[in-house]
Amino acid sequence: MPEITVSDDLYRQLEAESRDTDVTDTLWEMVGSYRRANNPESDMG
């Protein structure tokens, strides 16, 4: 799995968004949403 480095401030925001979910899961969901919004072909293939 690739390593993703984020600032402490962003990590605190991720923790707040995650609530009962693992921060890593929340981060990957955000990455997936970003990829679909910015490169719809990325999920095809």
pLDDT tens digit at each of 45 positions of the chain: 678 788 999 888 888 888 888 888 888 888 888 888 888 676 654
- Tokens found for residue 9: 């401030």
pTM above 0.85, yes or no: no
So what's the pLDDT on residue 27? Answer: 81
Identify the DSSP state of 8. H
pLDDT on residue 8: 93
- For residue 35, the surrounding DSSP H or E stretch is helix 23-38
Contact 14, 2 (CB under 8 A): no
Per-residue tokens: 1: 């799995």
